[in-house]
Amino acid sequence: MAKLFITNNFNTNQNIVNHCEKQGFKSSFTGKFETANIIAFSKKNSSNDNFHKIGDELIIGIGSIIYKDFSNNNALKNILSDFSDENDINLIKQTIIGNYVILIKKENNIFVFNDASNLSTLYYHQKDDKFNIGSDLFDLAINRNEKKSLTIDENNFLEGVFVNGILGEATIFKEIKKLLGHEYISINLRTENFKINHISVKKSIISK
């Protein structure tokens, strides 16, 4: 599985890169955009590009994505072409087949969302004016700049152990939340405004 990490705490970047490289992942994209850093890691033993950049616009996708009969990088290109603003997220989620996490940078905004069934997970940690977003819970937890402030939620830990999952947005860490399938994250790169937004997602329909 590929990985994605976004932060406005620039001290965390190299920590995450070092941690993922030790696991055998290779950075496929690294970019600094005004007030946020974005790092994507490709799947192990995979040569498929998991991002597409044209001018100042960017899309990164991890997981399995089929969009209008296109897959892999061609699917990403078409999603970016169809995306005008956050009002398009609902339709794009309805049209995609697969389990995925997608990041789109458009002008001065970043939008991040996952599949409606929430099978590809995305986590976020926000404290004061700093945020970390990642597709791997322990990438956020292992970061030495943040882990001292994390506390274990014993009830959630036990729920995860005995039922093999935790319902809702909760995780085993009180400070780290899980993005749900009817939510998306928006980040304004100028103001650093970080927001969890809600959408209604209908049954997937393929648009030709």
125 class by beta-carbon count within 10 Å (0-12 exposed, 13-18 middle, 19+ buried): buried
Q: What is the pLDDT of residues 130-153, one digit of tens each?
A: 899 999 988 888 765 555 678 887
Residues written for the chain? 208
pLDDT at 13: 67
Q: Which two tokens stand for residue 163?
A: 């039922």
pLDDT at 148: 65
pLDDT at 146: 59
pTM of the predicted protein model: 0.87
94 class by beta-carbon count within 10 Å (0-12 exposed, 13-18 middle, 19+ buried): middle
DSSP string spanning 7-73? Answer: ES-GGGHHHHHHHHHHTT-EEEEEEEETTEEEEEEEPTT-----EEEETTEEEEEEE--EETTEEHH
CB-CB contact of 98 with 63 (8 Å):
yes
Does residue 171 have a pLDDT over 50?
A: yes
pLDDT at 176: 92
